[in-house]
A and B are shown apart, each in its own frame.
Chain A
Amino acid sequence: MNGDTLITIRDLVKTYVVGEVEVPALRGVSLDIRRGEFVALTGPSGSGKSTFMHLAGCLDRPTSGTYLLNGRDVSRLSKRELSAVRNREIGFVFQGFNLLSRTTALENVELPMLYGPSVPAKERHRRATASLTAVGLGQRLDHHPNQLSGGQQQRVAIARALVNEPSLLLADEPTGNLDSRTSIEVMGIFQKLNRDRHITIVLVTHEPDIAEYASRIVAFRDGRVRLDQPVAVRRDAEEELRRFDEGRFEEDSLERSA
């Protein structure tokens, strides 16, 4: 393990007990993720990728195995300690955005700062504004979610995930509710954050082409890691967006998947 490792996972097992039946969701996963990596977790439903993401996101505790985040073993923490880890170390982006309705973009982004160590209102406001500006929504601070497009809503969610400057950004099917152009746009933001600010991103997706925006793909099947490899030909969202707007994207995309 070197100093650049953010996540060290060894023999992670998660078994759900449904009634009297034990359902193994993860059967022993070992994985290292370095700081600044952009990892896509793929796999069919039931492969264990979601369970893995929940464990990586400290939303749940493993049945056995160890999970070191930033060198600290978080696999045996209490619920309360896990809340603090989620607040400071992890930012979540969900498929359904999960923004508070009838609440401005700014207030939505300020939300994580309410639960951590006390931040003065002025400082909250400043950081939320900076975070929204970073995702290109500096002009829409006072908009409510229903006044924003799906892509914009997801960008508010990304700004919210980043506002506490977490060491890990977890995105669970972030493009699942978006059309293809908006999907590329959102992936572009992830790539930019990863490239410019060296934010570590773990992306869960079942769409192979979305996974190709990442730098490394980890494929799950039946609760185990089946494949773990760098992306050979990485997609560049910025470049694709340009081509998309020139009307050349569709054919190109078809060519590539052929």
Chain B
Amino acid sequence: MNPLIIVSIAVAALRRNAMRTALTALGLIIGVAAVIVMVSIGNGAKSSIETQIRSAGTNVVTISAGSNSFGPVRQGTGNTTTLMPADAEAIAKEVDGIKYISPGVNTRAQIVAESANWNTQVQGTGPDLPAIRAWSLEYGSFFTDQDVLMSAKVAVLGSVVREQLFGAGTDPTGETIRIKNQPFRVIGVLKSKGQAAFGPDQDDLIVVPYTTVQKKLLGITHLQNITLSTADGVPFQGASDQITDLLRARHQLQPGEQDDFTVRSLEEIAGVLTSTTTTMTWLLASIAAVSLLVGGIGIMNIMLVSVTERTREIGLRLSIGARDRDVLMQFLVEALVLSLAGGAIGVLAGFTASFGVSRIMQWPALVTPGAVLMSFGCAAAIGIFFGFYPARKAAALDPIEALRYE
């Protein structure tokens, strides 16, 4: 039998019960749309997180001073005083593939300008940090090795601090601010990076040479952290192992003794976050897939009713020469047409809903062709799978019994 005729017979049969057809298809429409929306929400979240991580700099490794134990009492991260500027120099010299390295000491302080004041994070860093973090400057310049050497009282402002102290959009280079009652010269303003997905506002900070924080603000000689970036293609694990070995040796830790520092990479954190969102995406998609399945069962249900209702029609078709295969095909194609139409409408609905959701969530709309193909393919598979049993039931009917059916 001509496939075109089979399809036209199926379409004719579906149109004879337009309302029922529409309601049955609705189950699949919702299922397919749900899968597409869920996957696109997941992908949108993932890409938004990835963008933020990339903006924090790639290939970045952070070494934090570790916890300290006084007998049974263990203190939190950053409490050891064993991480020294010399460690940073040693890492730069001895570990392969280090591109930039910046020692770090942070504190919080009240910043006072002529007519305003603001409490913020003061980050003491080396001159390499902008290169590591992919920071760029809106005004002025960053401090130099010379400034670090001299413990110069110079400061680079985050845009939020600039706004609070001098007003939005102004150029405060050359102005003087006071930190813990000491005058600092403003030499630059960082370009705004925006709110991070996690952690604090990346613009609410002030950057000064780490030596200045050590000597002028805190009166310490150790570091709280070291931030470094590796050259492209250097695996994190290798660098991390080398750093760990080097620092353990330098800190004279015995085998079995715990590290007094922690080595982390943004790549590693990013990987965890990405895999978390991937898991979430799958979770959402599988919940949506359940509704797709329910839609498929709806199709089977209606096809079974339809076969029973049209027993006499089947009997007639058999009596005028339809083979059991023709009857099977007729009902299978009917289920298939129903599910493909539902799938197609569902894809459209899913597209629309995804763009709506991404608008509200401020995420990029990521309707992947994969999600569309997968849900459309699922709809087709469901049509065949759930249409087969009713179709086989129809094809197995005895013509005499079917003709007699009341």
Residues of chain A at the chain B interface (Cβ within 8 Å)? 54, 57, 59-60, 79-80, 83-84, 86-88, 92, 94, 96, 98, 100-103, 111-112, 114-116, 118, 160, 164
Contacts and interface: CB of A to CB of B under 8 A. Distances in A.
Interface string B85-129: 000000000000000000000000000000000000000000000
Contacts of B9: 114
11 contacts: A54-B400, A57-B319, A80-B323, A80-B325, A83-B324, A86-B319, A98-B316, A102-B16, A115-B321, A115-B326, A116-B321
How many of chain B's residues touch chain A, expressed as a range? 20 to 34
Ordered nearest first, which 4 A-B pairs have the shortest CB separation? A87-B321, A115-B321, A112-B320, A98-B316
A45 B5 CA distance: 40
A112 B321 contact: yes
Which of B9, B12, B319, B323 is the most central at the interface, judged by chain A CB atoms within 10 Å of its CB?
B319
B1 to A, nearest CB: 7
B318 interface: yes
Contact of A115 (B312, B320, B400, B403): B320
A97 B8 CA distance: 23
Contacts of B16: 101-103
Contacts of A111: 317, 320
A160 to B, nearest CB: 7
A96 B322 contact: no
Nearest to B320: A112
B315 interface: yes
Given A59-B399, A100-B313, A114-B1, A79 B326 contact: no
B2 interface: yes
Given A59-B319, A83-B322, A98-B312, A114 B403 contact: no
Contact of A103 (B12, B312, B322, B324): B12
Which of B2, B12, B323, B325 is the most central at the interface, judged by chain A CB atoms within 10 Å of its CB?
B323
A145 B261 CA distance: 88
B320 to A, nearest CB: 4
Contacts of B322: 83, 115
A173 to B, nearest CB: 12
Contacts of A164: 321
Contacts of B316: 94, 98, 100
Contact of B2 (A57, A101, A118): A118
Nearest to A111: B320
Given A60-B400, A115-B326, A98 B321 contact: no
Contacts of B312: 96, 98
A156 to B, nearest CB: 12
Interface in B372-406: 399-400, 403
A102 to B, nearest CB: 5
B317 A115 contact: yes
A100 B319 CA distance: 14
B317 to A, nearest CB: 7
A87 B319 CA distance: 8
Contacts of B2: 118
Given A54-B400, A94-B403, A100-B313, A115 B1 contact: yes
Given A59-B399, A94-B403, A111-B320, 9 more contacts: A59-B318, A94-B316, A98-B312, A98-B316, A114-B9, A115-B317, A115-B321, A118-B2, A160-B320
Nearest to B4: A121
Which of A59, A79, A103, A118 is the most central at the interface, judged by chain B CB atoms within 10 Å of its CB?
A59
B323 A83 contact: yes
A92 B318 CA distance: 11
A135 to B, nearest CB: 16
Which of A60, A112, A116 is the most central at the interface, judged by chain B CB atoms within 10 Å of its CB?
A112
B333 to A, nearest CB: 13
Nearest to A97: B316
Nearest to B312: A98
Contacts of A87: 320-321
B324 A79 contact: yes
